[in-house]
Amino acid sequence: MTRAPEVTRLRFRDAAEAINEMRRRGLRVSTSRRLVLDALYAADGPCSAEHLARSLDLDVASVHRNLDVFERHGLVQHVHLGHGPGLYVLVGAGEHEYLYCEGCCAVRALEPAELDDLRSWLTDRFGYRARFTHHAIVGTCRDCADAGDAPPDAHVHEHSHGDFVHSHADPQERSRPHAHVHGNG
């Protein structure tokens, strides 16, 4: 299992500020790094290295190396939503933690402070200091729970299209509706 690095997250408003910060840290800003950075800005949420490589027509190993550099220097956050691939998202506006619904595959990004009560409860009850930046809290959203939609028991095929992750009980099944929520929606 991969372990998310403990680094100071950078603050930046746009790609130009991120590039300036990379240069300030002595990092070379290659064409592929600039392309990956621009693609992350264009994405509507966490996306996989494989998606970035396909959409940019770059070698997936090169994209992984660039994302690793970005993560080690605090530009991106690596997150897992459900059983899918590792996904990456820019952290310039701040780090997020995620809720992921196994029923409809909705993704909800939260400010870390929104989970402080849960963190306090875990610490008080178990003496455990939790963080949810690397792995999302996985469960069933209110809409799915109210509708009685339980997570599928069958093996789930899950994949990213860059700005969201969704899953199907079977790789051939495509008719199931998908809800995708980003931000604090």
Question: What pTM value is reported for the model?
Answer: 0.69
Residue 173 has pLDDT above 80, yes or no: no
Does 94 have pLDDT greater than 90? Answer: no
Q: How many residues does the chain have?
A: 185
Q: What percent of the chain has pLDDT over 70?
A: 74
Give pLDDT tens digits for 118-172: 999 999 999 999 888 888 889 999 999 998 865 554 334 444 444 444 444 433 3
Burial class (CB in 10 A: 0-12, 13-18, 19+), 32: middle
Q: Where are the alpha helices (DSSP H) in 43-157?
A: 49-56, 60-72, 116-126, 142-147
Higher pLDDT, residue 106 or 30: 30
Of residues 7 and 73, more confidently modeled: 73
Average pLDDT over residues 78-93: 85
pLDDT at site 84 = 78
The domains found in the chain, sorted by start residue, are 15-90 (1.10.10.10), 97-168 (3.30.1490.190)
Our measurement of the distance from residue 56's CA atom to the centroid of its chain's CA atoms, rounded to an integer in Å, reads 19
Cβ pair 107, 99 in contact under 8 A: yes
